[in-house]
């Protein structure tokens, strides 16, 4: 029998090939050369890329034997994950390979901006010796605000603590006790903006975080602030930052990421108080080697049919066929749970009931946690790091199984207790011969709705006219309702409207709905 073909489309660490071992036919091509890639990928079982190779529908259609695409890095902008999923191709990356490199670069940018390293360097190379012009500031005994206390944010906080800095952080999904153990004081965003002498951004890029640091936010900071963004472009509004720097309302900035990349022409580059790098967060020899080793391990697992912890679209492994369809449903339930909770729960039970409990359902606990943390941490969430993320945030997790399921053949419930003692729960099941996903319970209310890309939930005092009110406001906002379910705990008690809609609901419309309904719960959940 011929060996599986592993195609390496870009230069990777030599350790990558060594880690693959002798069990594969390892070939190479220039992935940036479209014709060469399409010819070489035809009989490949696995494809290893970095960032220059575009893995799109055309490439996937040419790859008739392809089982896994491995990105030796974190970002997946060059891989069409949706198309790969539809083609049954697993996509894996190396989610923790660059966290140290990214953290160190953030610190480097902070130091460079504080000490005017870049303009002083250019001035000296230009024949000038202007020491007084480039007088900087120390980090020692200053306050640094870390926006996002995920893996990279924690590493930055640790390193800056060693500089003698006071560390505060904004992250609504981290327990205060966990932050205190690291010597970090959790604050709200407005407090961080007001108190920080330095600020470093470490958030994932989501609809909620895009433009988070905008003109309004920058109006609240000290004029001596040094701002660093080495996370994702677009979280800091570049036009607003330019104005603040130009007008002296922000002292300096260090930037590694931009809203549109590659970015070689920005007004920010004209300013002496900006130090910028071309997205170098993962560009170290060590990070590249870690990434290569990680994806080599994932390829070996994928081609041998074993569990692949770093799969981002489909989960491999020795999982019972009866359990597999529940994995994507459980991930969605986790994301809905977090969207409704609005915070990390102190404890979570993943309850699995029905016939599938005859099999090993541990993967559903992992899928639930992967969903719970997907939208709230900066790093890529996988089946292997999701339990660690829960532990880091002081969230106790338990898998509960019961062969009895009175109302459904199988039922998956995520139930959590929040810091104030309140509970949040969501349940789902698969129905029919096509195993269609259904959301069947939210916070004790019975519903029956498909978990589509855009969902919304409103809880209010049961009274006439509220359904029409919701429909009218969404109609005025240009949001089409695809499905609606109304449930109540008792006549005249509390009611819940669950919606699936065709597009994301604007923040203004949500606020209008809350006011009009006097709702005590208004949540939009986007699963895109």
Tell if the pTM clears 0.85, that is, is over it: no
Local structure of residue 4 (DSSP, 8 states): P
3-state SS, residue 353: strand
Return d(Cα 66, Cα 89) in angstroms, integer.
7
Following CA atoms 326, 430, 480, 234 in sequence, which dihedral angle do they give, to the nearest 10 degrees?
0
Determine the CATH number of domain 99-276. Answer: 3.40.50.720
Reference 250, options 278, 275, 220; nearest CA is 220
Residue with tokens 């923790």: 96
Local structure of residue 381 (DSSP, 8 states): P
Structure tokens at 359: 């099999």
**According to CATH, where is 3.40.50.720 located in the chain?**
1-95+283-318, 99-276
Reference 378, options 102, 21, 60, 40; nearest CA is 102
List Cβ neighbours of 452 (8 Å cut-off, separation of 6 or more). Answer: 482, 483, 500, 501, 527
Return d(Cα 6, Cα 26) in angstroms, integer.
5
- What is the full per-residue pLDDT of the chain (528 aa) written as tens digits? 689 999 999 999 888 989 998 999 999 999 999 999 999 999 999 999 988 899 999 999 999 899 999 999 887 879 998 788 778 788 999 988 899 999 999 999 999 999 999 999 999 999 999 999 999 999 999 999 999 998 899 999 999 999 999 999 999 888 888 888 889 999 999 999 999 999 999 998 888 899 999 999 999 999 999 999 999 999 999 999 999 999 999 999 999 999 998 899 999 999 999 999 999 998 899 998 999 999 999 999 888 867 787 888 765 555 677 888 898 999 999 999 999 999 989 999 999 999 999 988 988 998 899 899 988 887 667 666 788 789 888 899 999 999 999 999 999 999 999 999 999 999 999 998 889 999 999 999 999 999 999 999 999 999 999 999 999 999 999 999 999 999 998 888 999 999 999 999 999 999 999 999 999 999 999 998
List Cβ neighbours of 84 (8 Å cut-off, separation of 6 or more). Answer: 55, 60, 69, 90, 91, 313
Active site residue 353: no
Strands (E), 219-289: 226-229, 252-255, 274-276
- Classify domain 1-95+283-318 at the CATH class level: alpha beta
Secondary structure (H, E, C), 401-432: EECCCCCCCEEEEEEEECCCCCEEEEEEEEEC
Residue with tokens 């350790």: 15
Active site residue 454: no
> Which of 50, 71, 151, 279 is flagged as catalytic?
279
pLDDT given at position 384: 61
Return d(Cα 73, Cα 88) in angstroms, integer.
21
Active site residue 116: no
pLDDT given at position 378: 76
> Which of 261, 355, 450, 508 is flagged as catalytic?
261
Return d(Cα 255, Cα 107) in angstroms, integer.
11
pLDDT given at position 347: 95
Return d(Cα 375, Cα 334) in angstroms, integer.
10
> Which of 232, 297, 353, 459 is flagged as catalytic?
232
Phi-psi region of 124 (alpha: psi -120 to 50; beta: other; left: phi over 0): alpha
Q: How many CB atoms lie within 10 A of CB 128?
A: 10
Phi-psi region of 437 (alpha: psi -120 to 50; beta: other; left: phi over 0): beta
Q: Judge whether 467 and 516 are in contact, CB under 8 Å.
A: no
3-state SS, residue 295: helix
Return d(Cα 307, Cα 178) in angstroms, integer.
30
List Cβ neighbours of 183 (8 Å cut-off, separation of 6 or more). Answer: 157, 161, 167
pLDDT given at position 380: 65
Reference 16, options 282, 292, 287, 303; nearest CA is 292
Return d(Cα 315, Cα 281) in angstroms, integer.
28
């Amino acid at each position: 029998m011929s060996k599986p073909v592993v195609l390496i489309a870009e230069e990777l660490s030599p350790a990558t090939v060594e880690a693959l071992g002798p069990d594969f036919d390892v070939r190479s091509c220039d992935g940036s050369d479209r014709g060469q890639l399409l010819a070489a990928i035809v009989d490949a079982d696995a494809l290893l890329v970095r960032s220059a190779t575009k893995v799109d529908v055309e490439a996937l259609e040419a790859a008739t034997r392809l089982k896994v695409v491995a990105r030796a890095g974190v970002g997946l902008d060059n891989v069409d994950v949706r198309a790969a999923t539809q083609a049954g191709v697993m996509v894996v990356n190396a989610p923790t390979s660059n966290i140290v490199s990214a953290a160190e670069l953030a610190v480097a940018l902070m130091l460079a901006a504080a000490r005017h390293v870049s303009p002083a360097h250019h001035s000296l190379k230009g024949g000038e010796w202007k020491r007084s012009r480039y007088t900087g500031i120390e980090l020692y005994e200053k306050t640094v605000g870390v926006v996002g206390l995920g893996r990279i944010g924690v590493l930055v906080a640790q390193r800056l603590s060693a500089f003698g800095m006071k560390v505060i952080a904004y992250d609504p999904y981290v327990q205060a006790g966990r932050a205190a153990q690291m010597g970090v004081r959790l604050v709200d965003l407005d407090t961080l903006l007001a108190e920080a002498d330095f600020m470093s951004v470490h958030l994932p890029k989501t609809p909620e975080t895009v433009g988070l640091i905008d003109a309004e936010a920058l109006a609240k900071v000290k004029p001596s602030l040094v701002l660093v963004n080495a996370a994702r472009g677009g979280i800091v509004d570049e036009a607003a930052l330019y104005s603040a720097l130009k007008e002296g309302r922000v002292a300096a900035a260090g930037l590694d990421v931009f809203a549109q990349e590659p970015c070689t022409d920005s007004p920010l580059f004209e300013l002496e108080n900006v130090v910028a790098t071309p997205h170098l967060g993962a560009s170290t020899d060590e990070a590249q080697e870690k990434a290569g080793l990680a994806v080599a391990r994932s390829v070996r697992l994928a081609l041998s049919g074993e569990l692949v912890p770093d799969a981002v679209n489909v989960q491999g492994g020795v999982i019972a066929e009866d359990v597999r369809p529940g994995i994507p449903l459980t991930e969605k339930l986790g994301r809905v749970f977090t969207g409704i909770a609005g915070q990390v729960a102190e404890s979570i039970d993943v309850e699995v009931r029905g016939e599938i409990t005859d099999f090993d359902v541990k993967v559903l606990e992992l899928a639930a946690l992967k969903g719970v943390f997907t939208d709230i941490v900066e790093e890529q969430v996988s089946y292997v790091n999701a339990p660690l993320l829960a532990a880091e945030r002081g969230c106790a997790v338990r898998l509960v199984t019961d062969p009895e399921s009175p109302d459904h053949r199988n039922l998956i419930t995520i139930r959590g207790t929040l810091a104030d003692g309140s509970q949040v729960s969501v349940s789902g099941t698969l129905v029919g011969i096509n195993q269609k996903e259904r959301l069947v319970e939210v916070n004790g209310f019975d519903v029956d709705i498909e978990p589509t890309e855009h969902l919304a939930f409103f809880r209010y005092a049961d009274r006439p006219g509220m359904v029409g009110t919701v429909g009218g406001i969404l109609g005025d906002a240009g949001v089409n309702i695809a499905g609606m379910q109304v449930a109540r705990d008792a006549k005249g008690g509390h009611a819940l409207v669950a919606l699936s809609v065709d597009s994301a609901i604007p923040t203004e419309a949500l606020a209008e709905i809350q006011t009009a309904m006097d709702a005590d719960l208004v949540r939009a959940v986007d699963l895109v």
